[in-house]
Structure 1
């Protein structure tokens, strides 16, 4: 899998045996982290479907976000985000938490996770495969800062792909969802003896869904009253 990611090459299926337990999956993720040349600047938190929780007993899973895959943007700008052509690719609207430095409060931003893997049907293999392949992450886009976020309620989020609305939700309590994701990440990393250092970014879970789309797709995400994002998916093989 590491070789396929390095070469931006799609695979016909999951290579080898799918990890059967959470412990096996995170052990494989840690091995891949050790083999990957890149700084981890954040972590994605994603949900585990209820039907999969008997075999993988957790509500969420986590995967690393690398510095090379992190982008910052402003309203109106189009951000080109690399994905694996022929593999899996999706856009997910997310809130992004920045863990505060010593004596500093955590800060929140609007954002998007770019999910992508060389394996086109990675999600069908289940949480063991997803965890082992860096959580199916290949990018994080960070937008405008959200002020006074702990008191925000009923925030509407809309995702449009290639001009068609494909996801809409209302976040009843921003604080509740963000802190739940961050707390799970803290517990997960502590159990693996990985420090959660100040400045770490936490992608807090898909808001309007996991929206699969191909290279060339253009996505627009509107966080009503907070800002917007524009994304174009490009082939990782030709990306800088």
Structure 2
């Protein structure tokens, strides 16, 4: 296994997420080590961390929080060193712009990428999924540069609710031609490579610049083929 990613559509750490997360954990041996980053839960990060720890321990994982909660924390060697003992990093949901501002060009993010390239799995839910793309949507402001782990891709979480609220056509119209916008349902992951859908919902792949914005739709258990330009 190398350079694996799981983009989760939101509502993490809930019972209906268990099949999805068990599939992710199954890539490791017994008691996989999960490190939860509750940064995006800006108003209640401790609660988000507790929920994640309790949830993953129920799934027989060893779960701990890495409380990188602000920009100074993202430069703290003591906190960054906690990332080493992880099989899976999990960005919890919350405020995507705040999460981006904490991690972008930070020592913590550099270390996560280094470890990810050495067979860790990097998962993010909602805000945590959004920041991993090349572009991130800031409602009312438009597109910003994300962390860029997935070039040419942007994430639309909570697809059933946000596709109409944020306006898929507006989002696509302001993306560079050829970009993929991945709409992901809650309790559902676009995971790979090789890419597949895990969980109870669906994944919707839109390509910017197409005459019709009709997405390619993939259900849980299906392999994902990205649409051609």
TM-score interval for Structure 1 and Structure 2 normalised by the shorter chain: under 0.3
Q: Which has the higher contact order (CA 8 A, sep 6+)?
A: 1
Q: Which has the higher helix share?
A: 2
